[in-house]
Structures are given as structure tokens and as C-alpha cells.
Amino acid sequence: MAASDPNTPPPSAAPSFDGISHGYAPDGPPVAPPPVPLEQIVGDVVDNLSATARAEFALIEARGELALHGASRAAIWGGVAATAAGVALLALAFGAILALSPQIGPLLATLVVVFALLVVAALAAWRAHGHHGDIRTALRRDLTNEGFDDAADT
């Protein structure tokens, strides 16, 4: 025969619901915690604001360090690229002079190559000057043009 469950009431006793919780504590309603003093609430808020401000400053510092790292690496690799491009342009200029020398002579070949490079440099400078305004706009203090205009002082 199966052993009876010790938690099961005997068959002669009426079922009792004293130990069953219906959303309430079995020993009565819970005791309300004592009210928190206002000074403690204000202190907690100030501590949280202080921690938030420190975290924001740490984030700004970390972003600045990341930007500095990126800018320094971009400057290094940009310098390498500019040096390589300069050497390539020198090789192109010497090659053009050597290629043109038998047809028009060394002096005229040199003048033609120098003139062509000056035209390329002038076009590049013209394009760079066009984008100079974008930089000034990005760095302007007053983007809405309601006050002091940085472009007027040039």
C-alpha cells in the first residue's frame, strides 16, 4: 500500500485554507517600512548626480583621447602618403622631361613639364580654397549667424 502524504489532512477533517496565500502574507499584511528622511533622499540624488557628472567627464575625456589617437595616426599615415605621392610626382616629372627631350630639347621639355605641374598645382589650390569655407563654417562659434560672424574678421 502506498504511503500517505504527511501534508494531506485526514479524510475526516474539513479542508482548511489557513496556510494558503491568496496574494497576502499568511501572517497578515506586511509591515510598512519606516519613511525615508528627506535629507537622505536629497543626499542620494546629489550622489547620483555627482556620479553621473563624473561618468560624463570620463566619457568626454575618453572620446578626446580616442580622437587624438586617430588624428595622430591619420597625420602619420597622411605624411607617408604625401611623401610617396611627392616622390611619384618627381619620378613622373623626370620621366616626362626625359621622354620629351629628344623631340623638343631638354630646356623646352623642362619648361613644359614645370608649366604643366604649375597648372595642376593651381587647380588643386583653387579646389582647396573652395573647401576652406567649409572648415570655417564648421569652426564658427555662431552657426545661426545671429551674432558675431567669424568670417567677417578675415
Domain membership flag for residue 65 = yes
Does position 125 have pLDDT exceeding 70, yes or no?
A: yes
Domain membership flag for residue 11 = no
The chain-wide mean pLDDT, for the chain, equals: 79
| pLDDT for residue 28 | 64
Q: Is residue 109 a contact partner of residue 100, using CB atoms and an 8 Å limit?
A: yes
Alpha carbon distance 104, 97 (integer Å): 10
Please name the amino acid found at residue 101.
Answer: S
Domain membership flag for residue 104 = yes
Mean pLDDT of 76-85: 90
Alpha carbon distance 76, 82 (integer Å): 10
Containing structural domain, residue 85: 38-141
Number of domains comprising the chain: 1
Per residue in 15-25, pLDDT (tens digit) is 565 555 556 55
pTM here is: 0.45
Domain membership flag for residue 85 = yes
Domain membership flag for residue 66 = yes
Domain membership flag for residue 83 = yes
Q: Residues 6 or more apart from 139 whose CB is under 8 A from it?
A: 150
Domain membership flag for residue 55 = yes
Per residue in 84-116, pLDDT (tens digit) is 988 998 998 999 999 989 999 989 999 998 899
Domain membership flag for residue 96 = yes
Percent of the chain with pLDDT over 70: 68
Range with top average pLDDT, 30-44, 94-108, 131-145: 94-108
For 46, the 3-state DSSP assignment is: helix
